[in-house]
Amino acid sequence: MEGWKRAVVFGALGVGGVLLITGRRGLGMAAAAAGLAVLASEYPEKFEELWEDAPEYLDKGIKIFNSMSRVAEQFAEEGARRGQGAWREITAQ
């Protein structure tokens, strides 16, 4: 891939990611789509394989996200329990 195409792809994906994180979803999706379109024009056969395997990738991503959510909930519950215990100790003194 030529240098300018690589710069366009990474720049568009980076800007798209930053815009998505900052809450400007429409612009972020448009920028990311533009970067992916340039990348797809350079490697159409790879994108066809990726498109065919997308459901499997999505399933794995959802499983990972659910596992991480459960761990975060357990941390929050444990933190709340410890916080209540510490508060009781402080008020008892």
- Return the C-alpha torsion angle 28, 29, 31, 32, nearest 10: 110
Model pTM score: 0.51
Count of other CB atoms within 10 angstroms of residue 9: 19
- Report which of residues 68 and 89 the model is more confident about: 68
Q: For the chain, what is the mean pLDDT?
A: 85
Q: Is residue 10 scored above 80 in pLDDT?
A: yes
Minimal CA–CA distance to 38: which of 69, 3, 68? 3
Locate the domains of the chain by residue range.
Answer: 1-42, 44-93
- Report which of residues 92 and 74 the model is more confident about: 74
Q: Is residue 63 scored above 80 in pLDDT?
A: yes
Minimal CA–CA distance to 8: which of 21, 16, 50? 16
